[in-house]
Structure 1
């Protein structure tokens, strides 16, 4: 799986200071007007989560190969981002800042919000309400630890990719949640995968690309 993109390291303005970020944009001139642009949110920063996490990076690659611009960033207090961890409260402002920044880079283009673990809990909450966000992706949603009932308030199309052996999100709970949500929702269960999709990143990639290819009729 390969893609040609331009990579830009940058800082965007967040609620408590600058946020470290990386923006990938397609090099192909024919894709300068993409079908959608994406923000990817990383897992818990107090447990080593950053925008360089392997699941976040793989997600960015999966989006990139479809010609989708991708913005990854570090939450407050992670990497070179300003501020301190705020238990998922202030981080919602970070998500809004990332979405607003990407929106200015691609005027009129709908946005996709993807998040892994803590990044899904914080990011999807904002994505459900943000007017520019049209689609949502939740990876390894930690339903054993966090409340995802807010998803019931959104009819936006959603993809969930989850490991059958995820220690932070019992697959039975995830299936029950997804089946109860309004709108169009799709769950991909990666058999044998733990929370971090160890040894299963190819299956994660396939789940993301297949769904997006079908929804947006993209080639990969």
Structure 2
């Protein structure tokens, strides 16, 4: 099993996108991971994003995490969520080109979870199946994803119960009103950034990568 990520740059709609890629020789499929809000210090180096990457890697998925436009060495400026979804699509297209006809998992944390959801919805409309969508602490109170979610792929939502950034009850209410099949897992006494709870997060996500 490979554990090494390599730095590379992908052609995105607003310029080059900085990325980290880990290729597995006998991969189950490909996993794209989207990071938190670019205007609030979100990057692909975020520890929750890194945990998601390691979890996918350890479960034999080739992974790609990347910086949205304007973050790190990625070119461009903040795109109000729409631009970031286009960035994610470009990143996934690169990943698919490297790994054709592989099952796809899309994961995201905070802002990145809503970007991941929008991308998954777009792909489904285009006829591209998604094996699993994973949303960690989705800020549904601030990022409108109504009507943008995929309707047929499995959805996992993980919400910390002591989240200081995203209002947990709003996520619970949103989950209760979803008409698509999904799983909601809550993490008691856990903050938005999973301080001291990253191992638990990995254990929660791993079964959905089998």
Structure 1 length normalisation: TM-score? 0.87
Q: Specify whether residues 195 and 168 from structure 1 end up closer, same or farther in structure 2 by C-alpha distance, changes over 3 A only.
A: same
Contact 1:99 1:111 in 2 (8 A): no
Q: Across the two proteins, how many residue pairs are aligned to each other?
A: 206
Distance 1:134 1:95 in 2: 17
2:96 equivalent in structure 1: 103
Structure 1: distance between partners of 2:206 and 2:95: 21
Note the 1:24-173 alignment, pairs <5 A.
24-26=22-24, 29=25, 31=26, 34-130=27-123, 131-150=128-147, 154-173=151-170
- CA distance in 1: counterparts of 2:23 and 2:40, whole angstroms: 29
Query: Is contact 1:164-1:189 (8 Å) kept?
Result: yes
Quote the offset at 1:152 in angstroms: 5.3
Length-normalised TM-score, structure 2: 0.91
Unaligned runs of 5+ in 1: 214-220
Shift in Å at residue 182 of structure 1?
Answer: 3.8
- Aligned equivalents of 2:116, 2:23: Cα separation in 1: 21
Structure 2 residue aligned with 1:216: none
- SS of 1:38's partner is strand
SS at match of 1:58: helix
- Superimposed CA distance per residue, residues 94-128 of structure 1 (whole angstroms, 9 cap, x where no aligned partner): 01101101111111112111111111122211112
Task: Specify whether residues 160 and 151 from structure 1 end up closer, same or farther in structure 2 by C-alpha distance, changes over 3 A only.
Answer: farther
Cα separation, 2, equivalents of 1:207 and 1:59 = 10
CA distance in 2, matches of 1:17, 1:152: 27
The answer to whether structure 1 residue 207 and structure 2 residue 200 are counterparts is: no
Cα pair 2:117 2:149 within 8 Å, conserved: no
Q: Name the CA shift for 1:74/1:35 in 2 (closer, same or farther; >3 Å).
A: same
